[in-house]
Amino acid sequence: MENLLKFSLEKKEFEADDFVLAIGNSSWDTIENLKGKIKISNKNFAVGFRIEHLREDIDKAQYKENYKNLPSASYNLSYKAEGNKGVYTFCMCPGGYVINSSSYEGCLSVNGMSYHKRDFVNSNSAIVTSVNEEDYGDCELSALNYQKEIERKAFLLGGGNYFAPCQRLEDYINGVKSSSIGKIKPSILPGYTLTDLNLVFSSQINKRIKDGILSMGKKLKGFDYKDAILTGVESRTSSPVRLDRNEEMKSIGIENLYVIGDGSGYSGGIVSAAIDGIRAFENITKN
Judged by CB under 6 A, which of 144, 150, 273, 280 binds ligand FAD?
273
Count the Cβ atoms, other than its own, within 10 Å of residue 139: 10
Judged by CB under 6 A, which of 269, 278, 281, 282 binds ligand FAD?
269
C-alpha 29/C-alpha 10 separation (Å) is: 15
- Contact call for residue 275 and ligand FAD (CB under 6 A): no
Q: Minimum Å distance from CB 271 to ligand FAD?
A: 6
- Contact call for residue 263 and ligand FAD (CB under 6 A): yes
Q: Minimum Å distance from CB 74 to ligand FAD?
A: 12
By CB under 6 A, the residues from 55 to 94 that bind ligand FAD are 91
- Contact call for residue 111 and ligand FAD (CB under 6 A): yes
Q: Minimum Å distance from CB 228 to ligand FAD?
A: 20
- Which residue type occupies 252? I
Judged by CB under 6 A, which of 20, 86, 101, 145 binds ligand FAD?
101
- Contact call for residue 30 and ligand FAD (CB under 6 A): yes
Specify whether the CB–CB gap between 53 and 153 falls below 8 A. no
Judged by CB under 6 A, which of 126, 262, 266, 280 binds ligand FAD?
262
Q: Minimum Å distance from CB 30 to ligand FAD?
A: 4
- Contact call for residue 234 and ligand FAD (CB under 6 A): no
Q: Minimum Å distance from CB 238 to ligand FAD?
A: 8
Instruction: Using the minimum distance from each CB to ligand FAD, give the nearer residue, 22 or 252.
Output: 22
| Torsion over CA: 146, 148, 150, 156 (sign) | negative
Q: Minimum Å distance from CB 126 to ligand FAD?
A: 10
Q: Minimum Å distance from CB 92 to ligand FAD?
A: 10
- Which residue type occupies 61? A
C-alpha 148/C-alpha 104 separation (Å) is: 9
Binding window for ligand FAD (CB under 6 A); candidates: 125-133, 227-235, 240-248, 267-275 = 267-275
Position closest to ligand FAD via CB:
24
**Residue 40: φ, ψ to 5°:** -130, 130
By CB under 6 A, the residues from 172 to 211 that bind ligand FAD are none
Write the binding mask 7 to 26 for ligand FAD: x where contact by CB under 6 A, - elsewhere: --x------------xxx--
Q: Which residues pair with 2 in a beta bridge?
A: 254
Specify whether the CB–CB gap between 58 and 80 falls below 8 A. no
**Contact positions toward ligand FAD, by CB under 6 A?**
9, 22-24, 27, 30, 91, 99, 101, 111, 113, 261-263, 269-270, 273
